[in-house]
Structure formats: C-alpha cells, structure tokens
Structure 1
Amino acid sequence: MNLLIKSATVVDPNSPFHQQVTDILIENGVITQIGNDITSDAETFDAAGKYLLPGFFDLNCNIGELGYETKEDLHTGTAAAASGGFTGIALMPNTQKPVHSKAEVEYLVNKSKGSLVDVVPLGAISYKREGKDMAEMYDMLQSGARAFTDGNHPVQDAGLMERALLYAHGFNALIFSYPEDTAIAGKAKVNEGEVSTLLGMKGIPSLAEELMVARDLYLAEYTNSPIHFSTISTWRSVDLIRQARLRGLQVTCDVAAHHLVLTDDALTGFDSQYKVKPPLRIRQDIDALIAGLKDGTIDAIVSQHTPHEIEYKDVEFEMAEFGIIGLQTTFILALKAGLPVEVIVEKLSVNPRKIMSMPTISIDVDADANFALVDTDLEWTYTRQNNFSKSYNSPFIGETLKGQVLLTGNNNQLFKL
C-alpha cells in the first residue's frame, strides 16, 4: 500500500498529531512522513474536511464460518468489516460446531491470515456452549483466542461463571458476560412496556438483563476477577456498572450501535428486521446509554453483526431470528446518536483494543498504517447493491444515511469505497 493522504484531520488521542490537519504518506504499509506539503509519486487522496482515525475494532461480531457459511463467511465478513472502517473483529463462538477447542480457534486464525482485517476468535466458556462443563479455555488461549464467552447463550449457572472467572483470571484472560436471565426473559420477543402491550406480545422485562448484571458483578467482586458485559441495553444496567466502577471493580462493558438510535416504537409495524436481542428498549434507556458513553461508564460500541438468510427474517415476527447486520453502519449510527468523533474513536478503536489487551495503534511516523478515513457529512443510500455482507437483514437498507468510511487500511492493504 502506497498512498498520500492530503489535508486530513487526524483524530487519535495516542498520536502526537491529534487534532492536526496534515498530510500522511504511507509507503509499503508504513507511515513514513506526516507533515505539510508532502509530495510523492504515490496515489494521492484529497482528504480536506475529512477525518483520519485509527482503525476500528469490533468486540461483538458473528460470522457464520464454521458451519453457517450461508449466512456469512470470512471473505464476505471481513469485506463488510473493512467497508465499515473495522481493521479488527472479535468473532463470537456462535458457530456450528462452536468455537470450544483449540481446533476451531486455529482454523479461524489460519483461514483469516493475509486479510486486511485482523480476526480474533473468542472461545466458548462452556463445552458446546451448553452452560454445563467448562471448555478448554487455556488451550484456546494458547492457540489465539483472546477472551471467552458463550456468545448469545447467557451462562445461567452461577457456579460455572464463578469457576470460569477464577480459572481465566489465573492466566490473565477475560470473561465476557451476555447478561440475560432466561427464566425471566422466557420466550418473549420484544421489550416489556407500552409497545409490547399495544402489539399484544409478551415482553422481556429489563429485569432479565439487570439481574444477571448484578449477579456477575457480585461474582467478579468475589473472585477478584475482571469481567466484560456485552451489549447492555437498560438504564439500570448502566447505573449498576457505574456504581461497581466506583467500588473499584474491574468491569468494562459495551453497547450495540443500534441500541443508541432505535426504540421499541420501531416495532409497531411488526417488521422483523428490527428484531434484536437484547430487544430495542425505550427512550429513557437510550438516553442513559449515550450518557454512559460520554461519562466513561460504557467503554465500547459494537456492531453485534448477526447475518441471517432471508428465510430466517422474511417471516412472521414471532418466527424470525434475532439480529441485524451492523459492520457497515456502526460508525454511522454512532454519528446519528450525536456522539463527537473524538468519543467515537475512543469507543470504536482505543478502548476495544485495551479491553482485549492488544497493542495500541497510532497514526504516527514509522507506525504500521492502520486507519479509517471518514467523511462525517457525506449522505448516501444504503442498498443491497452497496452492502458488502452476504446477508442483508438490516432495517437501514433503503435509508439515506449521513457519514461514510472512504478508505480503510491495514496489513499493507487498502479498502477503497
């Protein structure tokens, strides 16, 4: 990759050029010069009025490989990631078979070698993600897994979660908790509230999430272990985590981008494209999530990219699967939520890598070029034709969106819109 980016505004708190308008010369995938009036024979991109950001890292991405390649494979998944500015993705173990041993981890690591996007498998906490017996976590760590989670299967057994926290802490690994008490949530499909009553549908109460957040905070405190909560969605969850931080607990958390802009009012048309889990909540929850991002309680924003074939979504709402694709729209939804670019960089690039104990990346001379160049004002229409995912289960397809990723660079490779 040889590229001269002219007059970009650098937004990177780890860079000495933070908030400066400057030229950036990249040669063979390495930043060789940063300054004014740089000249080169390399391809030149006029970035006046645009922002150069460190590449994003997604902590919650579902790609069907292994076993569900008809939903998404590594090739299409990494293309969707690059189109959204992501230069790294953490893969949930929600596959068939699950990522519960070193064999699956090694397959994903080896299969993704050479990609623009760094692929980091997350290993399962329990064998087959059944919530009964612990999986081979240490072996998976040795093979390349960075953290452990049962994905969209919340760990219901408190004893198993306690043992997992203790065991992982012994070799400095991190446990991700997807907080849902399934006994409380039951088989409901939407948030419990006015909209569920209007629709005549049984709702999932916020309590289902908050009970599990409270339980796992107590377990983390008891075991003196770090814990990360995936896709929190209610105001009380934010408050519980905020209070835990004040008590000195080692707790981090993230929120899905669509939970920052959509309320359960979107469900009044029974459109299954809005069916997600955790379910869309109410305005009070959205306001609390955005406030939590701004005050540092919430560390990261994730895509929760969950592709599905048409036969799993283009059906009655009750029958449809949960989830939407989100890699291509995460940055855009963060903008739509009213977050400043500086906060978005912190939540999409800086903090996710800290949480995963990965090396810091920076836009600096002699650093590897790992970046996303974005235009926050460009308006465009998201269509099936410019969707890079293999699936197209997104409620935003057909909408005019504001903000776009123009270039993504990493591993001496360049994605150009």
Structure 2
Amino acid sequence: MKLFLRGLKVADPNSEFNEQTVNIRIVDGKYEALGPAIEPSKSDQIIDLSECVAAPGFFDMNCFIGDPGLETKEEIETAAQAAVAGGYTGILNLSQKKSSIETKSKVDYILQKASRTMVDIIPAGAISKHHEGKDLTEMYDMQKAGALAFSDADQAIQDDGFMSRALQYAKGIQAKLLVYPENASIAGKSQIHESAHSILMGMKGIPAIAEELQIARDLCLAQYHDAPIHIQTISSAGSVALIKKAKKDGIKVTCEVAAHQLNYTEEINAGFDSHYKVKPPFREKADQKALIQGLKDGVIDIIVSQHRPHEIEFKKLEFEQAAYGIIGLQTTLHYALKAGLTSSLITEKLALNPRIILGLAIPKIQVEEFANIVCYHPTQTWEYSTARNYSKSANSPLLGQTLTGLVKTVVHNTKIYSYEQ
C-alpha cells in the first residue's frame, strides 16, 4: 500500500507541520514522509486534496449501534460505513436499554465483529443492570474484556445513593462514568423545551432546570468522591455555567454537546416534524450561543454525533408518539462548520479530546506514526442523498439536502476510504 496525498493543510497541534500545507506519503499504513516539497514515487496512488484540511481521524463518544439485539436499526458494519464517511476512525458504542451491554461476552462480540471494519468500535458497558439505576453491572469484568467506559446512555440515574456508589466503584477500578443529565421528576413525560414557545404549541415542556439540577447533583458527588465524571449532551446556558464553575473549583469533570444542538433552536419544533424530536430538546437562542461559546472557551470538551438510528415506523408518527433522536455520524462535520468552528477547534473537539478523556493514544500526523487521518474540504458541498446515507436508518432532517464540508479521504492504518463522485 503506497499512497500520496497532495496539497493538504495540516490541523494537528501535535504535528511539526501544524497549519502548513504539505504533501503526505503513506507506505504500508505508516507516514513515510511529510513536507511541502516531497514528490510521489512511480508506484504511488496519488490523491489530489488541494484546499483540504488534514486532521487526526475523528472519534465519537456518543453513538448507538443496535448490534446485537437491534440490528434492524443499525449493524456494526453499517455504523462503520457511516462513521468513516463522516470522518470517524473511532466510535464509543453506548449500551442501550433494549440492547444493554452488561456482560464480558457481549463486549467480546462487539470487539470481534468491529475488528473486521475500518473503524475502532469500542463498547461502553452499562452502569446499571437493564439501565434501571438499581444494581451495578459487572463493570470490572467488562473493563478487563475491553469496555472503555460505562454509561446508561439516555437513561439518567435518578437515585442519589446509587449514583454515589457507582462513582465510588468506578474510581476504584479507574473507570470513567458517562452520565446523562435529566431529573425525571421535573422533566416528566414532556418532549420539547419549556418556554413561551411550548405554551403556544400547546405542549408541556422540559425546563432547563431538569438538566441543571442533575448536573449539580452529579458534580457534588464527583467532588465528594474526588472521582472523574463526564456529563453527556448538555443543552442549556445554565449547564455551561455550572460546569465552568466546577472546572475552576477543581472538580474532575468533562462534558459534551451534540452537534445538532449547535444549529437548531426550539423554533424548529413548530412544525411538529418528528425528525427534530431529540433529547435533550432544542432550547433557546441564548442557550445555543452559550454552547458555542462554551466550546470556544474550553468549558465544553467535545462534540458528539449523538447517533440514534430508528426504523421509519418509529419516526413516521405524530410528534408525541415518535421516538427521540436522529442519525448523525455523517453530518457532525457539517453542523460544526455551520456553527462557525475553525479547523483547529474541530480537531480538538472531534479528534483529540475524546481520546484524551478515554485515555486512548492520540494519533499524530508525523513521520513513522501509523496513519490515522481524515482529509476534508471545509467549503465543498455534497448531496446527502439516500444513496449517500450509509446508515441502516434514515432518520435525519438533513437527508436530501446539500451539506457543507466534504470528507474526501480517510486513511486508518492500511485501510482507505475515498469519496467517489
């Protein structure tokens, strides 16, 4: 395997060529040469990537894959295809209530099946059995088998004592807990953001305080146990403020925002289109501004896809009956660029920080390193057609639209993805 990538601007702070335009030669899965003046050999496959950005391959920390158990939504193979088309070379596969990852055998199954794809797909085991927030799973056994973190995903842990014990146990085995912030007694069964807008729509809303109270509790417990904690998919200005203060106070907290939260606000729900039914809900413009600023200030550590595949029969329903969530592996880059994020910030939030949080090796665009690179054109458009959707599900509000930010080439060791016109 001999590959020559021409004309790339490097966006990798760990590379000596950061912010320089270079050519890259990859031989047998390793960077052999980088620089503005290097030339290809006769046997090289040459790919012209002029005006493209080169970054370490992205890593997603919030993705649902239905395999095993819910393969009609997404399989490991289809998730990998969608991921690499979106620039990802790694995914953290979260446990789901109806397909809970609670055993060593399930961790083994996911890792073995994923090894045949181009993407590192690593399972996150459940914190509680059946996501019920009552009994701890066998976290230690799953960790030894290869589970990288633990999460009940979109099921927030309500019992304070259980959450305290979970943090204490996870600290003892040096594991990271990823927790969803929602106080269920306040959120109830509401489905959109609580505001004057929800009143006009005639629907009960989920107040931001339901998220913020849960975050405040989890921060207090993390501080008490001196344990690390990762807060998933924050959505409000109040949440940003809480986490900003916690970081200043020395609490070991990291957090994330879903890419679609950077582009939509509550007004999008006025049409009762279930494609925009997500959890947490889209909130107000002030919240969105705080999220984007939180990314720029370093309060919010990462951007996630929050990939939630569903069959059409789960979304083509009245708004109140439809399932939550959208697919996002192929559209996260588009959302990040539309929000005005720079290439250096995209590298930090999509490629570097997720791996730092999870304790993974950081890919470097550097000679002798193994190739792990995404090459994307930040202004080129592409049609997100049904044929271009590689997920097994199609629940995206962007399907059929022209998107900005084209992933043209991904190289992961000796495996190559190239966008075909």
TM-score range relative to shorter protein: over 0.9
**Distance across 2 between alignment mates of 1:149 and 1:390:** 24
Given that 2:66 and 2:99 are in contact with CA atoms closer than 8 Å, whether structure 1 keeps it comes out as: no
Alpha-carbon displacement from aligned partner over 1:62-112 (angstroms, at most 9, x marks no partner): 011111100000010000000000000001101644101212111111111
**Distance across 2 between alignment mates of 1:24 and 1:288:** 38
Partner residue of 1:74 out of 76, 79, 99: 76
Partner residue of 1:109 out of 100, 108, 111: 111
Match of 2:59 in 1: 57
**Distance across 2 between alignment mates of 1:159 and 1:345:** 38
Count residues with an aligned counterpart.
417
Alpha-carbon displacement from aligned partner over 1:229-250 (angstroms, at most 9, x marks no partner): 0100000000000000000111
One-letter amino acid matched to 2:284: I
Alpha-carbon displacement from aligned partner over 1:255-300 (angstroms, at most 9, x marks no partner): 0000001001111111000000000111001000000000000000
Q: What pairs with 1:185-264 in structure 2 (closer than 5 Å)?
A: 185-264=187-266
- For the pair 1:32 / 2:55, whether they are aligned, the reply is no
Tell me which moved more, 240-249 or 195-204.
195-204
**Distance across 1 between alignment mates of 2:284 and 2:125:** 32
Given that 1:100 and 1:129 are in contact with CA atoms closer than 8 Å, whether structure 2 keeps it comes out as: no
Alpha-carbon displacement from aligned partner over 1:40-71 (angstroms, at most 9, x marks no partner): 22110111111111000000000111111000
**Distance across 2 between alignment mates of 1:334 and 1:135:** 35
**Distance across 2 between alignment mates of 1:321 and 1:115:** 29
One-letter amino acid matched to 1:218: C
One-letter amino acid matched to 2:39: I
**Distance across 1 between alignment mates of 2:418 and 2:6:** 16
Partner residue of 1:277 out of 272, 279, 304: 279
Given that 1:68 and 1:95 are in contact with CA atoms closer than 8 Å, whether structure 2 keeps it comes out as: no
**Distance across 2 between alignment mates of 1:97 and 1:399:** 32
Match of 1:299 in 2: 301
Match of 2:335 in 1: 333
**Distance across 2 between alignment mates of 1:13 and 1:258:** 26
One-letter amino acid matched to 1:240: L
**Distance across 1 between alignment mates of 2:324 and 2:385:** 21
One-letter amino acid matched to 2:395: N
Runs of 4+ in 1 over 4 A off after TM superposition: none
**Distance across 2 between alignment mates of 1:219 and 1:331:** 34
**Structure-2-length-normalised TM-score:** 0.98
**Distance across 2 between alignment mates of 1:279 and 1:215:** 21
The unaligned stretches of length 5 or more in structure 2 are: none
Alpha-carbon displacement from aligned partner over 1:348-386 (angstroms, at most 9, x marks no partner): 001000000001110000111101000011112211111
What secondary structure sits across from 1:49 in the alignment? strand
**Distance across 2 between alignment mates of 1:408 and 1:317:** 37
Given that 1:67 and 1:95 are in contact with CA atoms closer than 8 Å, whether structure 2 keeps it comes out as: no
**Distance across 1 between alignment mates of 2:287 and 2:3:** 43
One-letter amino acid matched to 2:38: D
One-letter amino acid matched to 1:38: E
The unaligned stretches of length 5 or more in structure 1 are: none
Alpha-carbon displacement from aligned partner over 1:281-320 (angstroms, at most 9, x marks no partner): 1100100000000000000000000000000001110110
Q: Percent identity between the aligned chains?
A: 48
One-letter amino acid matched to 1:26: I
**Distance across 2 between alignment mates of 1:404 and 1:276:** 25
Partner residue of 1:42 out of 41, 44, 48: 44
Given that 1:7 and 1:22 are in contact with CA atoms closer than 8 Å, whether structure 2 keeps it comes out as: yes
**Distance across 1 between alignment mates of 2:97 and 2:366:** 38
**Distance across 1 between alignment mates of 2:392 and 2:413:** 23
Match of 1:3 in 2: 3
**Distance across 1 between alignment mates of 2:73 and 2:314:** 10
| Residues 95 and 76 (structure 1), Cα distance of their counterparts in 2 relative to 1, 3 Å cut | farther
Match of 1:402 in 2: 404
**Distance across 1 between alignment mates of 2:29 and 2:394:** 32
What secondary structure sits across from 2:47 in the alignment? strand
Match of 2:179 in 1: 177
Given that 2:124 and 2:147 are in contact with CA atoms closer than 8 Å, whether structure 1 keeps it comes out as: yes
